[in-house]
Structure 1
Amino acid sequence: MHTVNAMSYQDFDFELNGSKALLEDIFPGFNEYDRIGVVVREAGGGTGSSALLMSALTRFYDFFRPNLGVEPGAQFIYPEFFIFHVGKKHMTHYWMDIWPPHKEVVVKEDDPEQILEAINDRGITRLLVEDIAPSQPIFLRETLNSAKHRIVSALAYSPTGRVKNSDVKITSCEAAEKNVLDSIKISENLSKELLYELLERRELLKVNGRVTETYRRIEVEEALHMLTENTEPGATTLSYFALLEMEV
Protein backbone atom coordinates (compact mmCIF):
# COMPACT_ATOMS: atom_id res chain seq x y z
CA MET A 1 0.00 0.00 0.00
CA HIS A 2 2.62 2.49 -1.14
CA THR A 3 0.09 5.24 -1.75
CA VAL A 4 -2.02 5.17 1.41
CA ASN A 5 -0.15 7.91 3.25
CA ALA A 6 1.69 9.46 0.31
CA MET A 7 -1.34 10.88 -1.50
CA SER A 8 -5.09 11.31 -1.28
CA TYR A 9 -8.06 11.57 -3.60
CA GLN A 10 -8.03 15.34 -3.10
CA ASP A 11 -4.60 15.51 -4.76
CA PHE A 12 -6.17 14.81 -8.17
CA ASP A 13 -8.26 17.08 -10.37
CA PHE A 14 -10.88 15.80 -12.80
CA GLU A 15 -12.59 17.40 -15.77
CA LEU A 16 -15.41 16.04 -17.88
CA ASN A 17 -16.18 17.90 -21.10
CA GLY A 18 -14.20 20.86 -19.78
CA SER A 19 -16.05 21.12 -16.46
CA LYS A 20 -14.80 20.19 -13.01
CA ALA A 21 -15.85 16.66 -12.12
CA LEU A 22 -15.41 13.72 -9.76
CA LEU A 23 -14.15 10.21 -10.42
CA GLU A 24 -17.75 9.07 -9.98
CA ASP A 25 -18.73 11.23 -12.96
CA ILE A 26 -16.22 9.34 -15.10
CA PHE A 27 -17.02 5.94 -13.59
CA PRO A 28 -20.66 6.28 -12.42
CA GLY A 29 -21.35 4.26 -9.30
CA PHE A 30 -17.67 3.58 -8.60
CA ASN A 31 -17.34 1.55 -5.39
CA GLU A 32 -14.97 -0.61 -3.36
CA TYR A 33 -16.00 -3.74 -5.27
CA ASP A 34 -15.05 -2.40 -8.70
CA ARG A 35 -12.29 -4.18 -10.57
CA ILE A 36 -10.33 -2.08 -13.07
CA GLY A 37 -8.52 -3.67 -16.00
CA VAL A 38 -6.08 -1.99 -18.39
CA VAL A 39 -5.12 -3.69 -21.66
CA VAL A 40 -1.49 -2.86 -22.47
CA ARG A 41 0.00 -3.57 -25.87
CA GLU A 42 3.42 -1.90 -25.82
CA ALA A 43 6.38 -1.31 -23.52
CA GLY A 44 5.48 1.25 -20.88
CA GLY A 45 2.03 1.69 -22.40
CA GLY A 46 0.26 1.39 -19.06
CA THR A 47 1.79 4.65 -17.88
CA GLY A 48 -0.70 6.44 -20.13
CA SER A 49 -3.48 5.28 -17.82
CA SER A 50 -1.64 6.07 -14.59
CA ALA A 51 -3.59 9.18 -13.55
CA LEU A 52 -6.84 7.22 -13.70
CA LEU A 53 -5.36 4.23 -11.88
CA MET A 54 -3.66 6.25 -9.15
CA SER A 55 -6.67 8.46 -8.48
CA ALA A 56 -8.98 5.44 -8.43
CA LEU A 57 -6.84 3.60 -5.92
CA THR A 58 -6.82 6.59 -3.56
CA ARG A 59 -10.61 6.63 -3.85
CA PHE A 60 -10.61 2.89 -3.14
CA TYR A 61 -8.59 3.38 0.04
CA ASP A 62 -11.05 6.06 1.16
CA PHE A 63 -13.68 3.33 1.53
CA PHE A 64 -11.55 1.66 4.20
CA ARG A 65 -10.05 4.54 6.17
CA PRO A 66 -9.29 4.79 9.08
CA ASN A 67 -8.94 1.01 9.42
CA LEU A 68 -6.01 0.65 7.00
CA GLY A 69 -2.64 -0.42 8.36
CA VAL A 70 -0.18 -3.25 8.93
CA GLU A 71 -0.90 -3.68 12.63
CA PRO A 72 -2.78 -6.76 13.91
CA GLY A 73 -6.48 -6.28 13.34
CA ALA A 74 -5.98 -3.49 10.79
CA GLN A 75 -7.22 -3.70 7.21
CA PHE A 76 -4.35 -4.55 4.84
CA ILE A 77 -5.79 -4.55 1.34
CA TYR A 78 -5.01 -3.63 -2.25
CA PRO A 79 -7.55 -2.68 -4.92
CA GLU A 80 -8.50 -5.30 -7.48
CA PHE A 81 -6.79 -3.52 -10.37
CA PHE A 82 -5.22 -5.57 -13.16
CA ILE A 83 -2.85 -4.96 -16.08
CA PHE A 84 -3.37 -7.22 -19.10
CA HIS A 85 -0.08 -7.44 -20.99
CA VAL A 86 -0.69 -8.65 -24.55
CA GLY A 87 2.06 -10.86 -25.97
CA LYS A 88 4.55 -10.36 -23.13
CA LYS A 89 5.04 -8.36 -19.96
CA HIS A 90 5.60 -4.76 -21.00
CA MET A 91 6.51 -3.15 -17.66
CA THR A 92 6.34 -3.63 -13.91
CA HIS A 93 3.59 -1.63 -12.17
CA TYR A 94 4.59 -2.50 -8.61
CA TRP A 95 4.99 1.08 -7.36
CA MET A 96 1.57 1.90 -8.82
CA ASP A 97 0.04 -0.56 -6.32
CA ILE A 98 -0.67 -3.25 -8.89
CA TRP A 99 -0.02 -5.99 -6.35
CA PRO A 100 0.35 -8.94 -5.78
CA PRO A 101 2.24 -9.84 -8.99
CA HIS A 102 -0.53 -12.11 -10.29
CA LYS A 103 -2.43 -8.92 -11.14
CA GLU A 104 0.09 -8.33 -13.94
CA VAL A 105 -1.58 -10.76 -16.33
CA VAL A 106 0.31 -11.85 -19.46
CA VAL A 107 -1.95 -12.92 -22.34
CA LYS A 108 0.48 -14.73 -24.60
CA GLU A 109 -1.73 -14.89 -27.69
CA ASP A 110 -2.71 -11.62 -29.37
CA ASP A 111 -6.19 -13.00 -29.87
CA PRO A 112 -9.36 -11.08 -28.93
CA GLU A 113 -10.99 -14.16 -27.43
CA GLN A 114 -8.00 -14.92 -25.21
CA ILE A 115 -7.70 -11.30 -24.07
CA LEU A 116 -11.38 -11.11 -23.21
CA GLU A 117 -11.25 -14.45 -21.41
CA ALA A 118 -8.50 -13.07 -19.16
CA ILE A 119 -10.60 -9.96 -18.50
CA ASN A 120 -13.65 -12.07 -17.68
CA ASP A 121 -11.69 -14.42 -15.44
CA ARG A 122 -10.70 -11.44 -13.24
CA GLY A 123 -14.25 -10.10 -13.11
CA ILE A 124 -13.32 -6.69 -14.54
CA THR A 125 -16.07 -4.08 -14.20
CA ARG A 126 -14.24 -1.00 -15.57
CA LEU A 127 -12.16 -1.46 -18.70
CA LEU A 128 -9.44 0.72 -20.23
CA VAL A 129 -8.25 -0.05 -23.75
CA GLU A 130 -5.64 1.53 -25.97
CA ASP A 131 -7.07 4.06 -28.42
CA ILE A 132 -6.77 1.97 -31.58
CA ALA A 133 -9.11 1.55 -34.53
CA PRO A 134 -11.99 -0.82 -33.70
CA SER A 135 -11.72 -4.21 -35.38
CA GLN A 136 -14.13 -7.07 -36.03
CA PRO A 137 -13.01 -9.64 -33.45
CA ILE A 138 -14.16 -13.23 -33.22
CA PHE A 139 -15.42 -14.17 -29.76
CA LEU A 140 -17.19 -17.16 -28.35
CA ARG A 141 -20.76 -16.08 -27.72
CA GLU A 142 -20.47 -17.03 -24.06
CA THR A 143 -17.32 -14.96 -23.58
CA LEU A 144 -18.83 -11.88 -25.20
CA ASN A 145 -22.11 -12.08 -23.29
CA SER A 146 -20.30 -12.48 -19.97
CA ALA A 147 -18.33 -9.29 -20.60
CA LYS A 148 -21.37 -7.30 -21.72
CA HIS A 149 -23.31 -8.43 -18.66
CA ARG A 150 -20.62 -7.39 -16.17
CA ILE A 151 -18.51 -4.49 -17.49
CA VAL A 152 -20.11 -1.21 -16.44
CA SER A 153 -18.03 1.39 -18.27
CA ALA A 154 -14.97 1.82 -20.47
CA LEU A 155 -12.36 4.39 -21.42
CA ALA A 156 -9.90 4.74 -24.28
CA TYR A 157 -6.39 5.78 -23.23
CA SER A 158 -3.12 6.38 -25.05
CA PRO A 159 0.37 5.17 -24.08
CA THR A 160 1.44 8.78 -24.68
CA GLY A 161 -1.02 10.01 -22.06
CA ARG A 162 -3.15 12.00 -24.51
CA VAL A 163 -5.98 10.69 -26.71
CA LYS A 164 -7.69 12.35 -29.65
CA ASN A 165 -11.19 13.73 -29.11
CA SER A 166 -10.84 13.39 -25.35
CA ASP A 167 -13.67 14.26 -22.98
CA VAL A 168 -11.92 13.30 -19.73
CA LYS A 169 -8.93 15.05 -18.20
CA ILE A 170 -7.17 13.95 -15.02
CA THR A 171 -4.41 16.00 -13.43
CA SER A 172 -2.15 13.93 -11.20
CA CYS A 173 0.05 14.88 -8.26
CA GLU A 174 3.77 14.78 -7.57
CA ALA A 175 3.57 11.75 -5.27
CA ALA A 176 1.61 9.73 -7.83
CA GLU A 177 4.00 10.63 -10.62
CA LYS A 178 6.96 9.59 -8.47
CA ASN A 179 5.40 6.13 -8.17
CA VAL A 180 4.91 5.99 -11.94
CA LEU A 181 8.54 6.92 -12.56
CA ASP A 182 9.74 4.43 -9.95
CA SER A 183 7.74 1.69 -11.70
CA ILE A 184 9.38 2.58 -15.00
CA LYS A 185 12.85 2.55 -13.45
CA ILE A 186 12.53 -0.91 -11.86
CA SER A 187 11.19 -2.54 -15.04
CA GLU A 188 14.04 -4.84 -16.07
CA ASN A 189 12.65 -5.52 -19.54
CA LEU A 190 13.04 -1.90 -20.69
CA SER A 191 16.13 -0.92 -22.67
CA LYS A 192 18.05 2.21 -21.65
CA GLU A 193 16.81 3.95 -24.79
CA LEU A 194 13.19 3.10 -24.07
CA LEU A 195 13.58 4.03 -20.41
CA TYR A 196 14.82 7.47 -21.42
CA GLU A 197 11.99 7.82 -23.96
CA LEU A 198 9.33 6.97 -21.36
CA LEU A 199 10.76 9.42 -18.83
CA GLU A 200 10.80 12.15 -21.48
CA ARG A 201 7.23 11.32 -22.44
CA ARG A 202 6.11 11.77 -18.85
CA GLU A 203 7.86 15.13 -18.64
CA LEU A 204 6.02 16.36 -21.73
CA LEU A 205 2.68 15.67 -20.02
CA LYS A 206 3.27 18.34 -17.39
CA VAL A 207 1.02 21.39 -17.33
CA ASN A 208 2.01 23.97 -14.71
CA GLY A 209 4.27 21.37 -13.14
CA ARG A 210 1.64 18.61 -12.89
CA VAL A 211 1.12 15.63 -15.20
CA THR A 212 -2.19 15.82 -17.05
CA GLU A 213 -3.58 12.85 -18.98
CA THR A 214 -6.64 12.66 -21.20
CA TYR A 215 -9.08 9.86 -21.93
CA ARG A 216 -12.24 9.30 -23.95
CA ARG A 217 -15.38 7.63 -22.68
CA ILE A 218 -16.53 4.86 -24.99
CA GLU A 219 -19.29 2.29 -24.99
CA VAL A 220 -18.40 -1.14 -23.62
CA GLU A 221 -19.29 -2.67 -27.00
CA GLU A 222 -16.74 -0.42 -28.71
CA ALA A 223 -14.08 -1.19 -26.10
CA LEU A 224 -14.46 -4.91 -26.80
CA HIS A 225 -13.65 -4.16 -30.44
CA MET A 226 -10.47 -2.34 -29.36
CA LEU A 227 -8.71 -5.11 -27.46
CA THR A 228 -6.47 -5.80 -30.46
CA GLU A 229 -6.22 -4.99 -34.14
CA ASN A 230 -5.79 -8.69 -34.83
CA THR A 231 -8.98 -10.43 -35.93
CA GLU A 232 -7.61 -13.93 -36.52
CA PRO A 233 -8.25 -16.58 -33.85
CA GLY A 234 -5.13 -18.00 -32.24
CA ALA A 235 -4.29 -21.64 -31.64
CA THR A 236 -6.20 -21.87 -28.35
CA THR A 237 -9.37 -20.34 -29.75
CA LEU A 238 -9.16 -22.54 -32.85
CA SER A 239 -9.04 -25.56 -30.54
CA TYR A 240 -12.36 -24.40 -29.05
CA PHE A 241 -13.92 -24.27 -32.50
CA ALA A 242 -12.63 -27.77 -33.20
CA LEU A 243 -14.43 -29.04 -30.09
CA LEU A 244 -17.65 -27.32 -31.11
CA GLU A 245 -17.47 -28.89 -34.56
CA MET A 246 -17.33 -32.33 -32.93
CA GLU A 247 -20.80 -31.71 -31.49
CA VAL A 248 -22.35 -31.15 -34.90
Structure 2
Amino acid sequence: MHVLTLLKATMFDIRIGGQPATIADVLPDWHAHDRFGLVIDEALGGIGATHLLQIAMTAFYDVKPSRKTELTVYPEIYAFHIGRPRGAHAPYDFWPARREVMLETTDHRVILDAINDRGITRLAVPDRPMREVSHRPKEVDAALDRIASAFVYHPSGRLADADVTISGTDRRTEYNPDQVLKPFSEERLAAMKPSSTRPVKELDTSYVDWLRLRSGDVSEEERQMVQDRRVALRDGGLATESYRRVSVSEALQRLASAELS
Protein backbone atom coordinates (compact mmCIF):
# COMPACT_ATOMS: atom_id res chain seq x y z
CA MET A 1 0.00 0.00 0.00
CA HIS A 2 3.08 2.21 -0.07
CA VAL A 3 2.11 3.10 -3.66
CA LEU A 4 -0.73 5.12 -2.21
CA THR A 5 1.77 7.75 -1.01
CA LEU A 6 4.80 6.86 -3.14
CA LEU A 7 3.60 7.69 -6.65
CA LYS A 8 1.93 10.66 -8.32
CA ALA A 9 0.91 11.26 -11.92
CA THR A 10 3.39 14.14 -12.13
CA MET A 11 6.29 11.68 -11.67
CA PHE A 12 5.95 10.37 -15.22
CA ASP A 13 6.70 11.87 -18.61
CA ILE A 14 4.48 10.13 -21.15
CA ARG A 15 4.78 10.29 -24.93
CA ILE A 16 2.58 8.76 -27.60
CA GLY A 17 4.07 8.85 -31.06
CA GLY A 18 6.69 11.19 -29.67
CA GLN A 19 4.11 13.76 -28.54
CA PRO A 20 3.36 14.69 -24.90
CA ALA A 21 0.51 12.66 -23.46
CA THR A 22 -1.21 11.84 -20.17
CA ILE A 23 -2.18 8.75 -18.23
CA ALA A 24 -5.71 9.24 -19.56
CA ASP A 25 -4.35 9.02 -23.11
CA VAL A 26 -2.62 5.71 -22.38
CA LEU A 27 -5.51 4.30 -20.33
CA PRO A 28 -8.57 6.03 -21.78
CA ASP A 29 -11.84 6.02 -19.85
CA TRP A 30 -10.24 4.45 -16.78
CA HIS A 31 -12.93 3.80 -14.19
CA ALA A 32 -13.19 2.71 -10.58
CA HIS A 33 -13.65 -0.96 -11.47
CA ASP A 34 -10.72 -1.34 -13.86
CA ARG A 35 -8.31 -4.20 -13.19
CA PHE A 36 -4.78 -4.35 -14.60
CA GLY A 37 -3.27 -7.70 -15.59
CA LEU A 38 0.42 -8.30 -16.28
CA VAL A 39 1.53 -11.55 -17.93
CA ILE A 40 5.06 -12.62 -16.95
CA ASP A 41 7.03 -15.38 -18.65
CA GLU A 42 10.64 -14.57 -17.69
CA ALA A 43 12.48 -14.39 -14.40
CA LEU A 44 11.42 -11.08 -12.81
CA GLY A 45 10.10 -10.17 -16.23
CA GLY A 46 7.41 -7.83 -14.89
CA ILE A 47 10.12 -5.28 -14.11
CA GLY A 48 10.09 -4.46 -17.83
CA ALA A 49 6.54 -3.14 -17.47
CA THR A 50 7.24 -1.10 -14.33
CA HIS A 51 6.02 2.30 -15.50
CA LEU A 52 2.91 1.02 -17.26
CA LEU A 53 2.00 -0.84 -14.10
CA GLN A 54 2.75 2.21 -11.96
CA ILE A 55 0.60 4.61 -13.96
CA ALA A 56 -2.23 2.06 -13.74
CA MET A 57 -1.85 1.99 -9.96
CA THR A 58 -1.80 5.78 -9.89
CA ALA A 59 -5.02 5.84 -11.93
CA PHE A 60 -6.59 3.31 -9.53
CA TYR A 61 -6.21 5.72 -6.62
CA ASP A 62 -6.81 8.95 -8.51
CA VAL A 63 -10.15 7.82 -9.95
CA LYS A 64 -11.50 7.27 -6.44
CA PRO A 65 -9.78 9.54 -3.88
CA SER A 66 -11.46 7.77 -0.93
CA ARG A 67 -9.05 4.90 -1.57
CA LYS A 68 -6.32 7.19 -0.27
CA THR A 69 -8.16 8.36 2.82
CA GLU A 70 -11.13 6.34 4.04
CA LEU A 71 -10.33 2.88 2.69
CA THR A 72 -7.41 0.50 3.04
CA VAL A 73 -7.32 -1.30 -0.29
CA TYR A 74 -4.51 -2.44 -2.51
CA PRO A 75 -4.72 -1.61 -6.22
CA GLU A 76 -6.57 -4.11 -8.38
CA ILE A 77 -3.50 -5.46 -10.17
CA TYR A 78 -2.76 -9.08 -11.01
CA ALA A 79 0.44 -10.80 -12.15
CA PHE A 80 0.11 -14.00 -14.16
CA HIS A 81 3.26 -16.11 -13.90
CA ILE A 82 3.40 -18.45 -16.89
CA GLY A 83 4.99 -21.91 -16.80
CA ARG A 84 6.39 -21.54 -13.30
CA PRO A 85 6.75 -18.88 -10.62
CA ARG A 86 8.95 -16.07 -11.96
CA GLY A 87 9.96 -14.39 -8.70
CA ALA A 88 7.89 -12.36 -6.24
CA HIS A 89 6.58 -9.09 -7.65
CA ALA A 90 4.66 -8.39 -4.43
CA PRO A 91 6.68 -5.25 -3.57
CA TYR A 92 4.79 -3.50 -6.40
CA ASP A 93 1.64 -4.08 -4.29
CA PHE A 94 0.54 -7.30 -5.94
CA TRP A 95 -0.99 -8.17 -2.60
CA PRO A 96 -2.55 -10.24 -1.05
CA ALA A 97 -0.64 -13.20 -2.50
CA ARG A 98 -3.65 -14.23 -4.60
CA ARG A 99 -2.81 -11.25 -6.83
CA GLU A 100 0.22 -13.19 -8.08
CA VAL A 101 -1.35 -16.04 -10.03
CA MET A 102 1.09 -18.94 -10.42
CA LEU A 103 0.17 -20.95 -13.50
CA GLU A 104 2.33 -24.06 -13.68
CA THR A 105 1.43 -24.43 -17.34
CA THR A 106 1.92 -22.71 -20.67
CA ASP A 107 -1.49 -23.81 -21.97
CA HIS A 108 -2.97 -20.69 -23.57
CA ARG A 109 -6.47 -21.83 -22.63
CA VAL A 110 -5.65 -21.95 -18.94
CA ILE A 111 -3.93 -18.56 -19.12
CA LEU A 112 -6.94 -16.87 -20.69
CA ASP A 113 -9.25 -18.61 -18.23
CA ALA A 114 -7.24 -17.09 -15.38
CA ILE A 115 -7.34 -13.62 -16.95
CA ASN A 116 -11.09 -13.83 -17.45
CA ASP A 117 -11.66 -15.21 -13.95
CA ARG A 118 -10.06 -12.07 -12.48
CA GLY A 119 -12.06 -9.72 -14.67
CA ILE A 120 -8.99 -8.04 -16.16
CA THR A 121 -9.86 -4.89 -18.11
CA ARG A 122 -6.36 -3.67 -19.06
CA LEU A 123 -3.81 -6.26 -20.15
CA ALA A 124 -0.06 -6.22 -20.81
CA VAL A 125 1.60 -9.23 -22.44
CA PRO A 126 5.25 -9.97 -23.27
CA ASP A 127 6.54 -9.40 -26.79
CA ARG A 128 6.17 -12.86 -28.29
CA PRO A 129 5.22 -14.02 -31.81
CA MET A 130 1.55 -14.09 -32.68
CA ARG A 131 -0.05 -17.50 -33.11
CA GLU A 132 -3.42 -18.62 -34.36
CA VAL A 133 -4.89 -20.85 -31.63
CA SER A 134 -8.26 -21.99 -30.37
CA HIS A 135 -9.42 -21.13 -26.86
CA ARG A 136 -12.27 -22.65 -24.97
CA PRO A 137 -15.70 -21.67 -26.33
CA LYS A 138 -16.70 -18.06 -25.59
CA GLU A 139 -13.51 -17.19 -23.64
CA VAL A 140 -12.14 -14.97 -26.41
CA ASP A 141 -15.49 -13.21 -26.76
CA ALA A 142 -15.57 -12.64 -23.01
CA ALA A 143 -12.12 -11.03 -23.16
CA LEU A 144 -13.01 -8.91 -26.21
CA ASP A 145 -16.16 -7.71 -24.48
CA ARG A 146 -14.41 -6.66 -21.27
CA ILE A 147 -10.77 -5.70 -21.92
CA ALA A 148 -10.54 -2.03 -22.87
CA SER A 149 -6.77 -1.68 -23.43
CA ALA A 150 -4.00 -4.08 -24.37
CA PHE A 151 -0.25 -3.55 -24.55
CA VAL A 152 2.87 -5.41 -25.56
CA TYR A 153 5.98 -4.92 -23.43
CA HIS A 154 9.47 -6.40 -23.37
CA PRO A 155 10.96 -7.74 -20.12
CA SER A 156 14.00 -5.52 -20.76
CA GLY A 157 11.78 -2.42 -20.66
CA ARG A 158 12.41 -1.45 -24.28
CA LEU A 159 10.35 -2.59 -27.24
CA ALA A 160 10.89 -2.33 -30.98
CA ASP A 161 8.17 -0.47 -32.89
CA ALA A 162 6.83 1.11 -29.70
CA ASP A 163 4.31 3.93 -29.84
CA VAL A 164 4.25 4.74 -26.11
CA THR A 165 7.18 5.78 -23.95
CA ILE A 166 6.97 6.38 -20.22
CA SER A 167 9.85 7.97 -18.32
CA GLY A 168 10.21 8.39 -14.60
CA THR A 169 10.95 11.96 -13.53
CA ASP A 170 11.39 11.21 -9.83
CA ARG A 171 13.72 8.70 -8.16
CA ARG A 172 10.76 7.20 -6.34
CA THR A 173 9.61 5.66 -9.61
CA GLU A 174 12.53 3.21 -9.28
CA TYR A 175 11.72 2.17 -5.71
CA ASN A 176 9.51 -0.75 -6.70
CA PRO A 177 11.87 -2.43 -9.18
CA ASP A 178 14.73 -1.99 -6.72
CA GLN A 179 12.72 -3.75 -4.03
CA VAL A 180 11.83 -6.64 -6.34
CA LEU A 181 15.46 -7.03 -7.38
CA LYS A 182 16.83 -7.23 -3.85
CA PRO A 183 17.66 -10.80 -2.86
CA PHE A 184 15.74 -12.28 0.04
CA SER A 185 17.35 -12.25 3.46
CA GLU A 186 16.01 -12.35 6.99
CA GLU A 187 18.09 -9.27 7.83
CA ARG A 188 16.55 -7.30 4.98
CA LEU A 189 13.05 -8.24 6.08
CA ALA A 190 13.76 -7.14 9.64
CA ALA A 191 15.12 -3.80 8.43
CA MET A 192 12.27 -2.96 6.06
CA LYS A 193 9.41 -3.10 8.55
CA PRO A 194 7.81 0.36 8.62
CA SER A 195 6.15 2.07 11.53
CA SER A 196 2.57 2.66 10.49
CA THR A 197 -0.84 3.08 12.02
CA ARG A 198 -2.41 1.68 8.84
CA PRO A 199 -2.43 -1.99 7.85
CA VAL A 200 0.42 -2.39 5.34
CA LYS A 201 1.78 -5.58 3.86
CA GLU A 202 5.27 -5.13 5.34
CA LEU A 203 3.75 -5.60 8.80
CA ASP A 204 1.89 -8.74 7.70
CA THR A 205 3.60 -12.01 8.61
CA SER A 206 2.00 -13.63 5.56
CA TYR A 207 3.85 -11.12 3.35
CA VAL A 208 7.17 -12.15 4.86
CA ASP A 209 6.20 -15.79 4.41
CA TRP A 210 5.36 -15.12 0.77
CA LEU A 211 8.73 -13.51 0.05
CA ARG A 212 10.44 -16.38 1.82
CA LEU A 213 8.47 -18.93 -0.21
CA ARG A 214 9.27 -17.21 -3.52
CA SER A 215 12.96 -16.62 -2.74
CA GLY A 216 14.02 -19.73 -4.67
CA ASP A 217 12.08 -18.94 -7.84
CA VAL A 218 14.92 -17.01 -9.47
CA SER A 219 18.60 -17.94 -9.60
CA GLU A 220 21.30 -15.46 -8.61
CA GLU A 221 22.46 -15.42 -12.24
CA GLU A 222 18.96 -14.52 -13.43
CA ARG A 223 18.61 -11.84 -10.77
CA GLN A 224 21.95 -10.30 -11.71
CA MET A 225 21.02 -10.31 -15.41
CA VAL A 226 17.78 -8.45 -14.69
CA GLN A 227 19.63 -6.05 -12.38
CA ASP A 228 22.20 -5.25 -15.07
CA ARG A 229 19.43 -4.77 -17.62
CA ARG A 230 17.61 -2.31 -15.37
CA VAL A 231 20.77 -0.32 -14.66
CA ALA A 232 21.47 -0.08 -18.40
CA LEU A 233 17.95 1.29 -18.91
CA ARG A 234 18.50 4.21 -16.55
CA ASP A 235 19.82 7.67 -17.28
CA GLY A 236 20.66 9.65 -14.18
CA GLY A 237 18.99 6.96 -12.11
CA LEU A 238 15.68 7.20 -14.00
CA ALA A 239 14.31 4.72 -16.53
CA THR A 240 12.48 5.24 -19.80
CA GLU A 241 10.38 2.31 -20.97
CA SER A 242 8.54 1.73 -24.24
CA TYR A 243 5.35 -0.13 -25.11
CA ARG A 244 3.08 -0.80 -28.03
CA ARG A 245 -0.70 -0.50 -27.90
CA VAL A 246 -2.36 -3.43 -29.63
CA SER A 247 -5.81 -4.86 -30.13
CA VAL A 248 -7.06 -7.37 -27.59
CA SER A 249 -7.12 -10.02 -30.31
CA GLU A 250 -3.43 -9.44 -31.02
CA ALA A 251 -2.58 -9.57 -27.33
CA LEU A 252 -4.28 -12.95 -27.02
CA GLN A 253 -2.42 -14.27 -30.06
CA ARG A 254 0.88 -13.22 -28.50
CA LEU A 255 -0.22 -14.69 -25.20
CA ALA A 256 -0.50 -18.09 -26.84
CA SER A 257 3.23 -18.06 -27.66
CA ALA A 258 4.03 -18.76 -24.03
CA GLU A 259 3.95 -22.41 -25.09
CA LEU A 260 7.01 -21.80 -27.26
CA SER A 261 9.18 -20.09 -24.64
TM-score of the aligned structures, taking structure 1 as reference length: 0.87
Aligned residue type for 1:56:
A
After superposition, the C-alpha distances for 1:117-156 in whole angstroms (9 at most, x for unaligned) are: 0000000011101111101122122111111111111000
CA distance in 1, matches of 2:66, 2:102: 34
Aligned residue type for 1:63:
V
Question: Aligned residue for 1:236?
Answer: none
CA distance in 1, matches of 2:82, 2:218: 16
Alignment counterpart, residue 204 of structure 1, candidates 216, 224, 232: 232
Unaligned runs of 5+ in 2: 185-213
Per the alignment, do residues 224 and 142 of structure 1 end up closer, same or farther by CA in structure 2, a change over 3 Å counting?
same
After superposition, the C-alpha distances for 1:64-104 in whole angstroms (9 at most, x for unaligned) are: 336625xxxx2111111100001111021121111111010
Question: Aligned residue for 2:10?
Answer: 10
Question: Aligned residue for 1:31?
Answer: 31
CA distance in 2, matches of 1:145, 1:25: 25
**Structure 1 position 182 matched with structure 2 position 179:** yes
CA distance in 2, matches of 1:76, 1:36: 18
SS at match of 1:68: helix
SS at match of 2:255: coil
Higher helix share: 2
Larger Rg: 1
Structure 1 contact 137–231 (Cα < 8 Å) conserved: no
1:230 positional shift? 5.6
Per the alignment, do residues 201 and 231 of structure 1 end up closer, same or farther by CA in structure 2, a change over 3 Å counting?
closer
1:56 positional shift? 1.6
CA distance in 2, matches of 1:67, 1:40: 27
1:2 positional shift? 1.1
Question: Aligned residue for 1:45?
Answer: 45
Per the alignment, do residues 208 and 184 of structure 1 end up closer, same or farther by CA in structure 2, a change over 3 Å counting?
closer
CA distance in 2, matches of 1:153, 1:5: 26
Per the alignment, do residues 128 and 230 of structure 1 end up closer, same or farther by CA in structure 2, a change over 3 Å counting?
closer
Question: Aligned residue for 1:79?
Answer: 75
CA RMSD, Structure 1 to Structure 2 (Å): 1.7
Matches within 5 A, 1:65-214: 65=65, 68-69=68-69, 74-172=70-168, 173-185=170-182, 186=184, 188=215, 189-214=217-242
CA distance in 2, matches of 1:170, 1:231: 29
1:35 positional shift? 0.6
Structure 1 contact 137–230 (Cα < 8 Å) conserved: no
SS at match of 1:38: strand
Structure 2 contact 37–123 (Cα < 8 Å) conserved: yes
1:60 positional shift? 1.5
Moved over 6 A (4+): none
TM-score of the aligned structures, taking structure 2 as reference length: 0.83
CA distance in 2, matches of 1:207, 1:135: 36
Moved more, 28-37 or 154-163: 28-37
